[in-house]
Chain A
């Protein structure tokens, strides 16, 4: 049973380019969360999605960041016009309906974005 799959694992972009990070949740999980981990800091919630719906995007920066979880395919976190401060590890997590209430999440191995 594959876990949460994220790709790419490492991504290098120059300032002003776009970054797209993909996440396939665990089989049977319909809830996806994106977290960001800046150097020397803890994980920070960004957005919570279910299929075709954004449930809570209170942690997303107001500009340049967007997320989607289409009916088919992986969830995508998109960062437009990247800046150096976007360099971080972006973790995706998933949960099933049954465990959502407990807050227990299953994390992917992260996508490490470096902006030059």
Chain B
């Protein structure tokens, strides 16, 4: 059975701290790994990673994938209260020679940033 596991499940930090969120996976037909941010509504897309060792960066957020060890990390530097959210990791699959939006999600990491 396909599995995506995130750690830690929850994290409480203060503004200005740096956090690292982890995602490991065991799936068939891996195609891509995606990170989403979910506040109290729709998950919003952060990153998609397909190649090992290439860091994706967007402002204070960055992410990298290791396809040999089957994990990814999401880093957030200089955290702000607005970063408080659930961070979801998901794996996209190949299926029958094509691929589509069937994603296997982890259970999420709840990040709380205190002022």
Contact = CB atoms under 8 A, between A and B. Distances in A.
Interface string B7-41: 00000000000000000000000011010100001
A1 interface: no
B99 A103 contact: yes
A26 to B, nearest CB: 12
| Chain B facing A: main interface SS | strand
A95 to B, nearest CB: 5
B43 A100 contact: no
A39 to B, nearest CB: 11
Nearest to A9: B41
B39 to A, nearest CB: 10
**Interface size class for chain A?**
20 to 34
B88 A109 contact: no
Interface string A83-116: 0000000010101000011111111111000000
Given A42-B88, A107-B44, A108-B42, A93 B101 contact: yes
A100 B99 CA distance: 7
A75 B90 CA distance: 23
A48 interface: yes
Interface residues of B, number: 27
B43 A107 contact: yes
B101 A103 contact: yes
B4 to A, nearest CB: 8
B104 A102 contact: no
Most chain B CB atoms below 10 A, which of A91, A102, A110: A102
B101 A105 contact: yes
Interface of A: 3-4, 31, 33, 35, 40-45, 48, 55-56, 91, 93, 95, 100-110
Given A35-B105, A42-B4, 14 more contacts: A4-B42, A33-B102, A40-B107, A43-B90, A43-B103, A48-B100, A48-B101, A56-B95, A56-B100, A91-B42, A101-B100, A103-B103, A104-B45, A107-B43
